[in-house]
Chains A and B, each alone.
Chain A
Amino acid sequence: MTKILEINNLKYKKNSKTILTDINLSLDSGKIIGLLGENGAGKTTLMRLIAGVNVQPSGVITVDSKTKITEIKSSVSFSDNLNGFSGRTKIIDIVHFYENVYPDFSAEKYNEISSYLDLKENDRLSSLSTGTLGKLVIALALSRETKLYLLDEPLSGIDSMSRKKIISSIIRWKSDDSTIIISDHYVTEIASLLDEVVIVKDKTIYEVIEVEKIQEKYHLGVEEYYEKVYEGGLTNE
């Protein structure tokens, strides 16, 4: 299997405070991977580093065999919380912005996803419910045709109907050779989607483990396993 992502000896400090240290990670392509960790564990920082939004002071990140930050930036679709747009911006204007900025943005794919998710192009950002905003974020991220998608807490604060729709659009529109990394601190609902989980703890990657292994070897669900890891109830072999 080809590697979509390799991280070697990554460290990240902010205002001389260590945020992440000794990060080594190697992920096969084609999978859906859960990035789990408590709030503040560094999940978003790690995603921003992978996406090339934050620049790493030391270590090497390779995405789809690319190491140049400009190349990585253009080949990773990182979900954007859309905070940079004013509340008066219409959905259609954001879509045009995406079309202009990302050559891999497929208007056709966006039309399919947005009609499935019931997004109205003339609605303004400030009028959207949290659920609808979450759907828009996902529709935009999935409409780029690329190899690696980073979805940062796509279900956080979202009502259960919208969550189901978001999950189902991830399944529908993920192409077989692409890889999706989804971060979350509440796992149960996405557990059936995941091939593997990456657990971030104590400023580093505690473990990368297949979901099936958690179930077969430890007879636990992902959520339970993850809680045990955080309580220190499991010893890492």
Chain B
Amino acid sequence: MEYIDNIPIYLQIKDMLYRKIISNEYELGSQLPSVRQLAVEVSANSNTVQKALKEMTDENVVIPQRGKGNFVTEDVTIVNKLKNHIVNEMFDATYDKLHSLKMNDNEIIDSFNNYVKQREDTND
């Protein structure tokens, strides 16, 4: 995993794991790899991975089971909320930039629809 060097590693690991959960690479209710396996996978210290998992547990996305390890929540509303949050974060900057071009919401929606259409056409 490539890291941005001035952002805490545990936040970057957390972000990466959240994306894997949202994209269903780690399915609802499934068991996550062990701390050590994750640490090797992302080339980070186990303490750092532990810290990322701790925050994910505090946010109810990860459920630790004593003696068994860590599991993804089975609650789809939590994952949807998480997805919503991450998608919003991606839109934030774009929306602000479009606004600064004096575009109103309808124009922004129209241009986004157009954009998606054009992308679909080029992917055909």
Contact = CB atoms under 8 A, between A and B. Distances in A.
Interface string A192-228: 1111000000000000000110011001111110000
Nearest to A214: B6
Given A171-B39, A172-B40, A215 B6 contact: yes
A191 B1 CA distance: 12
A137 interface: no
A231 interface: no
Contacts of A212: 8-10
A171 B43 contact: yes
B104 to A, nearest CB: 35
A30 interface: yes
B117 interface: no
Given A168-B40, A171-B40, A195 B45 contact: yes
A222 B47 contact: no
Given A168-B40, A172-B40, A32 B45 contact: yes
B5 A224 contact: yes
The interface size bin for chain B is 10 to 19
Given A215-B7, A221-B6, A192 B47 contact: no
B36 A192 contact: no
A222 B3 CA distance: 12
Nearest to B47: A195
Contacts of B10: 212
Most chain B CB within 10 A, of A167, A193, A219, is at: A193
A174 B5 CA distance: 23
Nearest to B13: A192
Contact of B44 (A172, A192, A216, A224): A192
B3 A191 contact: yes
Closest CB pairs A-B (n = 8): A221-B5, A212-B8, A221-B6, A215-B8, A192-B44, A171-B39, A32-B45, A219-B6
Interface of B: 1, 3, 5-10, 36, 39-40, 42-48
